Amino acid sequence: MRPILIVFAFPVLLSVSSLQGSSAPSRSKPSLCTKQEEVYFTSGFLNNKLASICTSSDVSYTSGYLVYRYGTSDRKIELSLPQRPIEFRRFVTLEESGGGDSGEEDEFIRIRNGKFSYVVYSAFSNDFDVHGLAVFENDELIKNMPSLSGSFEGSGAFEGLRHLGVPLEEKAKAQAIWRALLPASSVFHSRPAAAASK
């Protein structure tokens, strides 16, 4: 008599977090996200403020929401963007550059609100390691707040948001932002000015 092979098929249930893998950072740092939201970025600053980028737990390429919040460490929200978080792809852009011989890796997420832009960024190389929040009025940098040591959390945020359909930043705009933010040792300051307009 031949042995009978019986195969049982069990449904596999995956949470949003497991589907995203390491896209969303863990909750090891203080943030302005609710317990029901995913924390994609959070950072603290010397002025006792926090900035966080949060998404709904069901966020995907076609559903859910993303919101940028800025407020106090006791969770009083002073700014929340966009006004309609489900429309985040219209107001949020991403930038990533680096690699090669320089060892430099740079990422930012820009949230636009009229003539103002809020840029959360992370950049490092063999010569520097900077993280923070910058505010631009049109193309002018009006405030740059470095993250408090140990408060920055955003590993995987860039890739996670790309998978949600957030568009990439226009190249010329990205170059201008990096030139305003990064130290003189950055590769952006050694590139010809014409490169920023291409």
Smallest CA-to-CA distance from 54 within 72, 73, 36, 78 is with 36
Q: What pLDDT does residue 158 have?
A: 79
Q: Which residues of the chain have pLDDT under 70?
A: 1-27, 99-102, 155, 190-198
* Residue among 104, 105, 132 at smallest CA distance from 118: 132
Q: What's the whole-model pTM score?
A: 0.80
Long-range contacts of 117-121 (CB under 8 A, 24+ apart): 118/51, 118/68, 118/70, 118/79, 118/81, 119/177, 119/181, 120/41, 120/43, 120/51, 120/53, 120/68, 120/154, 121/181
**pLDDT at position 113:** 97
